[in-house]
Amino acid sequence: MTKSATPQDQRALVDRLMTACGGSYSPETRRKYFISGPQWAAAYQGQALFHAPTRQVVSATEVIRQFAEIGIGYWTTHDTDVIPTEALMTGRQAEIVAGIKEALKSNGLQCSMVTCETFYHPVWAASPAAESPEIRAYGATRLRNTVRIGHELGAQFLVYWPGTLGYLLQGVIDETQTLKWYAEGINAACEEDLAVAAQAKTQTLRHCLEAKPFEPQAEIILPTSDAMLNFINSGLLKHPDMVGLNPEYLHELMWGGAPRAALARALVAGKLWHFDVNDGYRLKHDVDIAVGLVNPLDWLNVLMLLRSHGYNGPFNFDYKPPRTTSNYGVFRVSFPSAIDRFITLWEMAGEALEDPIIKEATEALKAGAGVAASNDAQQIFEANKEILTLHELIAHRLVQILLGLHRGRKIFARGEKA
Ligand code: GLT
Ligand code: MN
Ligand code: MN
Nearest ligand, CA of residue 39?
A: 1
Question: How many structural domains is the chain composed of?
Answer: 2
pLDDT at 274: 99
User: Contact 292/341 with Cβ under 8 angstroms?
Assistant: yes
CATH code of the domain containing 229: 3.20.20.150
Say yes or no: 257 and 163 in one domain: yes
Question: Is 86 inside any structural domain?
Answer: yes
Nearest ligand, CA of residue 250?
A: 3
**Which of 325, 353, 381 represents a domain boundary (last residue)?**
353
Would the CA dihedral through 130, 126, 320, 295 be positive or negative? Answer: negative
**Ligand 3 centroid from CA 255, angstroms:** 12
What's the first-to-final CA gap in the chain, in angstroms?
32
Say yes or no: 95 and 152 in one domain: yes
Residue nearest to atom 12 of ligand 1 (CA): 161
Question: Is 143 inside any structural domain?
Answer: yes
Question: Is 73 inside any structural domain?
Answer: yes
Predicted structure pTM score = 0.97
**Which of 353, 368, 399 represents a domain boundary (last residue)?**
353
Question: Is 414 inside any structural domain?
Answer: no
Question: Which residues have a beta carbon within 5 Å of ligand 3, which is an ion?
Answer: 250, 286, 288
Would you call 164 helix, strand, or coil by DSSP?
Answer: coil
Say yes or no: 287 and 171 in one domain: yes
Degrees, nearest 5: CA angle 245-189-318: 40
Ligand 1 atom nearest to CA at 161: 12
Segment holding 78, helix H or strand E: strand 74-78
Segment holding 206, helix H or strand E: strand 206-209
pLDDT at 417: 83
Say yes or no: 156 and 260 in one domain: yes
Say yes or no: 340 and 389 in one domain: no
Q: Would you call 398 exposed, middle or buried from its count of C-beta atoms within 10 A (0-12, 13-18, 19+)?
A: buried
pLDDT at 418: 75
User: Contact 140/188 with Cβ under 8 angstroms?
Assistant: yes
Segment holding 20, helix H or strand E: helix 10-21
Question: Is 10 inside any structural domain?
Answer: no
Ligand 1 atom nearest to CA at 40: 8
Ligand 1: which of 49, 142, 287, 318 to mutate, judged by most atoms within 8 Å of the beta carbon?
A: 318
pLDDT at 163: 81
Say yes or no: 119 and 158 in one domain: yes
pLDDT at 164: 85
Say yes or no: 346 and 377 in one domain: no
Low-confidence spans in the chain with pLDDT less than 70: none
**Ligand 1 centroid from CA 118, angstroms:** 10
CA atoms within 13 A on the CB side of 418: 2
Residue nearest to atom 6 of ligand 1 (CA): 161
Say yes or no: 89 and 103 in one domain: yes
Range(s) of the domain holding residue 152 = 24-353
pLDDT at 90: 98
pLDDT at 304: 98
Say yes or no: 318 and 387 in one domain: no
Say yes or no: 344 and 249 in one domain: yes
**Ligand 1 centroid from CA 210, angstroms:** 8
Question: Is 416 inside any structural domain?
Answer: no
Question: Is 170 inside any structural domain?
Answer: yes
**Which of 353, 380, 396 represents a domain boundary (last residue)?**
353
Question: Is 105 inside any structural domain?
Answer: yes
CA atoms within 13 A on the CB side of 284: 7
Say yes or no: 201 and 103 in one domain: yes
The full DSSP string for 312-336 is -S-EE------TTS-HHHIIIIIHH
Ligand 1 atom nearest to CA at 215: 9
Say yes or no: 341 and 215 in one domain: yes
**Ligand 3 centroid from CA 171, angstroms:** 27
